[in-house]
Structure 1
Amino acid sequence: MSETPVTSAAHRGYVEISKEQVRRFWKDVQVTPDGDRWAVQLDGHTPKTPAKNPLIAPTRAVAQIIAQEWAAQEQIVDATSMPATRLASTAIDHIGSVREAVADEIAAYAGSDAICYLGEGALQRRQIEKWTPWRAWAQQELGIDLRPVIGVLHHAQPQVSLDRVRTLALSLDDFQLTGLATATTLFGSTVLALALLEGALSGEEAFDLSRLESAFQEAQWGVDAEAAERAETMRREAGVLERWFRGLAE
C-alpha cells in the first residue's frame, strides 16, 4: 500500500511536509495525556501531521516510541529516521477513509502469500521446515487456511480464507491496521504480518522468515553490499513494527 511520506518543515508547535532541510527547533520532548489518548509535545506544543492533525497516539507506549524519534533528531531533521511518526501520521490522516481498500489489499496479499510458494531442492526443504508451522498457526489460531504450491505460478487460495483475512483486518483500529498493512508489504506475507501483530513472532523472526530464498542465495553466491544494506534497513523497520504492535497492546 502507499505510505504518506514524512519530511518536515517546522515552526514552533507545527510540523508539515516539506522537501527542504529543517533544523531542529525544539529542546524538550514529552508525552502528555490528552483525554484517553497521549500527545507528543515539543517544548509544550503538539506537532501536526501532514494533514495538520495533532500527533496523538492511542497509548502512552506508542506515543513514547514516536517521541523518542523526535528526541533523537540532531541539528538537521532526518525524516527517514522517523518510521513510527510516519506510521502514526498515516493512521491519523488516511486510514480511516480507506479502511475497506486497505483490508482488500491485505487479503489480496494473502491470496499470493510469500510463504505459500515453494522452491526446489534444498531451498524447498528449508521452506517447508520454516513456513509450514506458520501456515498451520494461521489455520489453528485465526481460521486462515492457505495451501502451499511449488513454483511461482499463481495458485488461488480458498475464498473463505481471504474473506477471513479481510474481516480480521477490518476489526482492527486505524493504528493497528496501518501497522498490519505496512508489515504485510514489508514481508510479502499476510500470515507473517498477522503473526507479528499477534505477538507470535518478533520483527526479526518475521523478517528472516520472509527472506528465506534471499538468504539461501546469499549462502551460495555471496552477499551484495547494496542488497545487504537494503535488507538491514528493512530489518530495522520490522523491529519498529514489533515495538509498534507491542505498544498498541499496552
Structure 2
Amino acid sequence: MVQKGFIEPGEKPRRFYETVAVEAGEGGWRVLLDGRPPRSSRGAALLAPTRALAELVAAEWEAQARHVDLAVMHATRLAFTALEAVPTAREAVADQIVRYAGNDLLCYPAEAPEGLRARQAAEWGPVLERARAELGVALEPSQGILHREQPAHALEAVRRHALSADDFTLSGLAFGVPLFGSAVLALGLWRGWFSGEDAFALSRVDEAWQESQWGIDEEAAERTARLLSEARMLEAWFRGLEAGPVSPA
C-alpha cells in the first residue's frame, strides 16, 4: 500500500489526492496535496525557494490522471534532487559539469558534409564566442573527431560558475548538460541567452540536418518530442528561480 503523500522511486501509484495547492511555509513555498506535502522516499517534503518554481512543480501533480508517473515529472524529481542530493555533493556535481565542458558538443563540428559543417559554424560559433566574452569560458573547437584538451582556465571558469549557483540552479545545470551534451548550452539557458526550445535545437543541429536529408522516423520523432519537453521544463525551472526570493504573505 502507498502511504498518502509518500512516493517510492520506481512505483506508479494511483493518484491519491484530489487537490493541489501552493502555500508559503518555513524556508520556502510548499506544494500541498490535499493539504499535505508529498515526500520523497527519504522523507524530504517538497519545498521550493520561489512561488513560481513551486507552481511549476504543482502543475505536474495537477496534470497526473489515474496514476502518478514520476518518470514524466521532471521538475518534481529535480526539486527533490536539489533538496536532498546536491547540498552534500556540490563539488561532485560541479565536476560532472566540467567533464561535459571538456567534451562539449559545440567543440566537435562535423568534418563533412560541408553544408552541415557550415550550419554548425554559423549556429555554434556565436554561442562559443559569447561564452568566452561573458563567462570567461574560452573553449576551443576541435578540427577533427579526435579529443581536444580544453584550456584549464576555461574549465576552471565553468567550475566557478557552477559552484556560484544555489542548489536548485546547480541541479538544473546538472540536468541540462547531459540533455544538451553541452555545458555551454546549459549555462547559456540559465543566463537567458536563448529559450529551452532554441537550446535544444542548437544541441541537435546534426540530427536536424540528417532529418532534412533522409526524413524522420516515428521512434526518433517521439524521442525528440520527449527531450524537447524536458528542455522547455528546464527553461521554466531557471526562469522560476529568477522570480524572486521567498516572501510569505
Q: Same fold (TM over 0.5)?
A: yes
The residue identity in structure 1 corresponding to 2:72 is S
- Aligned CA distance change for structure 1 residues 44 and 155 (closer, same or farther; 3 Å): same
How many percent of aligned residue pairs carry the same amino acid?
A: 48
1:11 paired with 2:21, answer no
Q: Is the 8 A contact 1:102 1:181 kept in 2?
A: yes
Provide TM-score, normalisation by structure 1: 0.93
The residue identity in structure 2 corresponding to 1:117 is Y
Q: Is the 8 A contact 1:16 1:52 kept in 2?
A: no
DSSP 3-state at the match of 2:22: strand
Equivalent position of 1:189 in the other structure: 182
The 1-side partners of 2:105 and 2:41 are apart by 33
Runs of 4+ in 1 over 3 A off after TM superposition: 18-21
Provide TM-score, normalisation by structure 2: 0.94
Equivalent position of 2:20 in the other structure: 29
The 1-side partners of 2:84 and 2:239 are apart by 22
The residue identity in structure 1 corresponding to 2:125 is T
Question: Where does 1:109-148 land on structure 2 (aligned, <5 Å)?
Answer: 109-119=100-110, 120=112, 121-148=114-141
Structure with larger RCO (C-alpha < 8 A, sep 6+)? 2
Question: Where does 1:155-234 land on structure 2 (aligned, <5 Å)?
Answer: 155-234=148-227
The 2-side partners of 1:51 and 1:243 are apart by 26
Give deviations 1:134-158, integer Å, cap 9, x for gaps: 0011011111101112322100111
Q: Is the 8 A contact 1:11 1:25 kept in 2?
A: no
Instruction: Note the aligned Cα RMSD (angstroms).
Output: 1.2
DSSP 3-state at the match of 2:24: strand
- Which residue among 29, 34, 37 is the counterpart of 1:38? 29
Q: CA deviation at 1:81?
A: 2.4
The 1-side partners of 2:33 and 2:61 are apart by 8
- Which residue among 50, 58, 66 is the counterpart of 1:59? 50
Q: CA deviation at 1:19?
A: 3.5
The residue identity in structure 2 corresponding to 1:45 is R
Q: Which structure 2 segments of 5+ residues have no match? A: 244-249
Q: Which structure 1 segments of 5+ residues have no match? A: 1-8
The residue identity in structure 1 corresponding to 2:41 is P
The 2-side partners of 1:19 and 1:134 are apart by 38
